[in-house]
Amino acid sequence: MTLSQIDEEVAKLLQLKAQLGGDEGKHVFVLKTAKGTRDYNPKQMAIREKVFNIIISCFKRHGAETIDTPVFELKETLTGKYGEDSKLIYDLKDQGGELLSLRYDLTVPFARYLAMNKITNIKRYHIAKVYRRDNPAMTRGRYREFYQCDFDIAGQYDAMIPDAECLKIVYEILNELDLGDFHIKVNDRRILDGMFAVCGVPDEKFRTICSTVDKLDKMAWEDVKKEMVNEKGLSEDVADRIGEYVSMQGGQDLAERLLQDPKLSQNKQACAGLTDMKLLFSYLELFQVTDKTSSEKVRTTETQVLVASAQKNLLEERLKLTSELWNAGVKAEVLYKKNPKLLSQLQHCEETGIPLVAILGEQELKDGVVKLRNVASREEVRLISDQNH
């Protein structure tokens, strides 16, 4: 038994014990989230909100709508779509009704939505969590509940324009997120298949050779070639021919060159793919994408001012002022204490990043002013009460 298997058995036994204990007695809880899932604390949520805002503004800038679908689908809707991965789907218990499963991605629900509503054209984004019951022994550290953020254009249109817009969107998002340098690789399934054909790969091996070629981003060519020859049964000649093509990279010029290639130009699929690739690059040029901080304290609230007081018995005045600020749309807080010390009020500002503190005092109230202090610089000004905002 592995350590994690023991943990699971213990958890099950504790659950059973708790249930046997009935609802009266106090349960001894295993205080944790389910394996592979996690809470998002306020700091993580603040970061998440920033990222979503950037991404969603970009989608909206491109005229996309959004939809939402239920977290579970009829099991049958998901069955048969994911091949080998089907065993990673979370099923709901059969409780006497329909058989249900948690969605595995957002693409199948999207297809179901289009078919169900007989929609032929839509540009939509969908940001939501999906669920995969990854085997912990093999993929430790991977979450089982995680966000997917999909953008899709459905419909019959003139070739490559929507495809180009998708790339423009990825480019805009990665730029705005300021993650550093990046590049986007493009290829085409028809070019790949055409390439395999002219290299001499038997039809029935296309998909499996494809997944081996896919490993080139992680493995060196020698190892990829070894897998093709030793595990997938290709001859060395065929593998070498593939090797010549897959080492090629370029822009619109590469597509042009390959259209002149004596072997590839004879393959109909490859030609179609290469022609479209040229077209794509021409649009990408028009879209200007053919080329590729200061560690700010992450705040979890957006409060602009804390209403405070150095003296006692000013709770009423603090509450009144806070209410006026809220009514005027100002993001304000007040400590839930009748007579808090000024130091704790200032500390609260520093801990949570509130930039301003409005300090009330007997003298100031008589004079009809409020002391507005900048928390960071400690500069203070006396402001006439009704101009406080």
User: Euclidean distance between the first and final Cα of the chain, in Å?
Assistant: 65
Within positions 171 to 230, which residues make up the interface with other proteins, using CB under 8 A?
172
Burial 77-95 (b: 16+ CB within 10 A, else e): bbeeeeeeeeeebbeeeee
**Strand 305-309 and strand 145-154: pairing?**
unpaired
Report how far Cα 383 is from the mean position of its chain's Cα atoms: 45
Interface with other proteins includes 19 (CB under 8 A)?
yes
Phi then psi for residue 332, to 5 deg, are: -130, 155
Our finding on whether 140 is near other proteins (CB under 8 A) is: no
Q: What binding mask, one character per residue, do residues 219-258 give for other proteins by CB under 8 A, x or -?
A: ----------------------------------------
What mask, x for binding other proteins by CB under 8 A, covers residues 313 to 352? --xx--xx--x--xx-xxxxx--xxx-------------x
For residue 39, say whether it is annotated as part of any ligand binding site: no
Backbone angles phi, psi at 34, to 5 degrees: -65, 150
- Classified as helix, coil or strand, 26 is coil
The response to whether 105 counts as a known ligand-binding position is yes
Q: Is 10 in the site for other proteins (CB under 8 A)?
A: no
Are 314 and 342 in contact by the 8 Å Cβ rule? The answer is: no
**Which residue lies nearer to other proteins by CB, 232 or 299?**
299
Cβ proximity to other proteins, 93 vs 378, nearer residue? 93
* Cα-based distances in Å from 205 to 200, 210, 212, 383: 10, 8, 11, 78
Exposure of 20 by Cβ count < 10 A (0-12 exposed, 13-18 middle, 19+ buried)?
Answer: exposed
- Beta carbon nearer to other proteins, 144 or 373: 144
The CB-of-209 to other proteins minimum distance in angstroms stands at: 22
Binding of other proteins at residue 162 (CB under 8 A)? yes
Q: Are strands 369-374 and 356-360 parallel, antiparallel or unpaired?
A: antiparallel
Would the annotation count 178 as a binding residue?
Answer: no
Query: Contact with other proteins (CB under 8 A): which of 51, 54, 77, 342?
Result: 77
User: Total residues at the site for other proteins (CB under 8 A)?
Assistant: 102
* Nearest distance in Å: CB 35, other proteins: 6
User: Least separation, in Å, of the C-beta of 15 and other proteins?
Assistant: 4
- Of 226 and 341, the one with the shorter C-beta distance to other proteins is 341
Length of the chain equals 389
Binding of other proteins at residue 53 (CB under 8 A)? Answer: no
DSSP, residue by residue, 103-160: -S-SHHHHHHHHHHTT---EEEEEEEEEE----TTTSTT--SEEEEEEEEEES--STT
| Under rule CB under 8 A, residue 132 binds other proteins | no
Q: Which of 134, 145, 227, 256 binds other proteins (CB under 8 A)?
A: 145
When binding is defined by CB under 8 A, the residue of 52, 157, 182, 221 that contacts other proteins is 157
Asked whether residue 107 is marked as a ligand-binding residue, the answer is yes
Q: Is 2 in the site for other proteins (CB under 8 A)?
A: no
Binding status of residue 1 toward other proteins by CB under 8 A: no
Residue 132, marked binder: yes
Residues making up the annotated binding site for L-histidine are 105-107, 132, 148, 152
